[in-house]
Amino acid sequence: MKQFHFSISLTPQEFKLAYAGSVKHVIVLTDEGSRVQIPVMRLQPYLLPNGVFGRFRLIIDQNNKFVRLERL
């Protein structure tokens, strides 16, 4: 399995636009310098009144399929 670490900061307004369907994915820059595309729906459990923010770890399998997203 592969792991990617990254920081994200989305305001409630940015998340609302994404969740409303105008944006389906968020592209983040990992600590390693890779760009990773994450479906917005995967961020929903981490939505707080002030948005989605913090450090995360994305785990994918050998076929690049989503396994888990964790807030660190």
Sketch the domain layout of the chain as residue ranges.
2-71
Mean pLDDT of the chain: 89
How large is the average pLDDT for residues 34-58?
91
pLDDT tens track for 11-44: 888 777 766 767 788 899 999 999 999 988 898 8
Please answer whether residues 38 and 28 qualify as being in contact, where contact means their C-beta atoms are separated by less than 8 angstroms.
yes
Tokens of 8: 């994200």
Strand partners, 52: 10
Q: Give pLDDT, residue 7.
A: 96
The number of beta carbons lying within 10 Å of the beta carbon of residue 69 is: 17
What pLDDT is stored for residue 31 in this prediction? 95
Contact criterion met (CB below 8 Å) for 57 and 72: yes
Q: Are strands 52-60 and 2-10 parallel, antiparallel or unpaired?
A: antiparallel
CATH fold of the domain at 2-71: OB fold (Dihydrolipoamide Acetyltransferase, E2P) (2.40.50)
- Beta-carbon contacts of residue 23 (< 8 Å; ≥ 6 apart): 17, 40
Q: What pTM did the predictor assign?
A: 0.82
